[in-house]
Each structure stands twice: as structure tokens, then as C-alpha cells.
Amino acid sequence: MRVGMGYDVHRLAEDRKLILGGIEIPNPLGLLGHSDADVLVHAIMDSLLGAAALGDIGKHFPDTNAKYKGISSLKLLKEVKNLLYEEGYKIVNIDATIIAEKPKMAPHIPFMVKKICAALEIDENRLNVKATTEEGLGFTGSGEGIASQSICLITKK
């Protein structure tokens, strides 16, 4: 059994969609990044890659590659799942946290779980997604950005 941890953060910006957990959330600002900037999915990918000692998303999907410009992070997550399976791993569970002052995430989390689990081809009881604020502190608390953390457990098949 192996454990991995992931973290991602992106700045909020105008003229961008807010994509978290593979779904679009109505918000006047979206996350700025090379891909769709889905911090939740990015953190999950990094935790999975880390657990398998396969590097990180920057190694596999560099932001210098035009192929990944504007790409859905769910597509990249499927590629990470395939890498894990090729190495003989299966996902035991994932626990992830979105760190954002607004918008409120609770109404959207069940839809995020469905999208992520479908991409990973795992049962929904293997993924927990939750959200928290930082009570107005730091860059997430001031509304400058959104962050996410993830931890996972994988095992050999």
C-alpha cells in the first residue's frame, strides 16, 4: 500500500470559467491556468502520481505543451488512471479538500464526485470531497485564488 499527497492552487481571473471537479460552477471569476485550471482534479492527479512514484502533473502534462492548452483536467485524470493501471496499481481511496472563500461548494460536491469517479472508474464510496474557507485569511480567504489538497491510498492489484 502506498500513500500520496497532492496540492494545487490557481489565481482567480476574469473571462475564465470556474471548473472544479470537472463541473462548471457559476461564478463571475474563473481559475487561470494553461488547462481548465481545475485545482481539485490537479491535486488528485498529483496525489495519485506521487503515491505511485511517477512524478507530478508538470512532468506528464507540461504547460509548455500546446497540446494541453485549455484541455479538460478530467481527460488528464483518465491518463493518470491509465498510468497507474499500467504500473499495476488500483485506487483504494481518495480524500480531497477544496479551499475557497466563495462560491459555496456544498451544492456542487455530489456532481464533482460523480464526474471524478467516472473518470477514474471507481465507486463513489472511494472518493471524499469536502470544502472549507480560510475565514478571510491568506490569498484564498481574500478571494484571490482557490486551492485544493488531496491524499490517496493505492495498492497493487
Q: Tell whether 139 is in a known binding site.
A: yes
Q: Is 142 assigned a ligand-binding role in the annotation?
A: no
User: What is the rounded CA–CA span in Å between residue 95 and residue 84?
Assistant: 18
Burial 47-73 (b: 16+ CB within 10 A, else e): bbbbbbebeebeebbeeeeeebeeebb
Query: What are the C-alpha distances in Å from 41 to residues 69, 117, 142, 157?
Result: 16, 11, 22, 23
Q: Say if residue 75 carries a ligand binding annotation.
A: no
Q: Helix, strand, coil shares of the chain as percentages rounded to 5?
A: 35, 30, 35
Q: Determine if residue 140 is labeled as part of a ligand binding site.
A: no
57 labeled part of a ligand binding site: yes
Residue 65 marked in a binding site: yes
Please tell me whether 134 is known to bind a ligand: yes
62 annotated ligand-binding residue:
yes
Residue 100 in marked binding region: yes
The reply to whether 38 sits in an annotated binding site is no
8 is in an annotated binding site: yes
103 is in an annotated binding site: yes
Q: Any known ligand binding at 106? A: yes
Return the ∠ at Cα 47 (arms to 135 and 41), rounded to 5°: 65
58 is an annotated ligand-binding site residue: yes
Residue 34 known to bind ligand: yes
Q: 124 among the known binding-site residues?
A: no
| Residues of the binding site | 8-10, 34-35, 42, 56-58, 61-65, 100-106, 132-135, 139
| Residues of the binding site for a divalent metal cation | 8, 10, 42
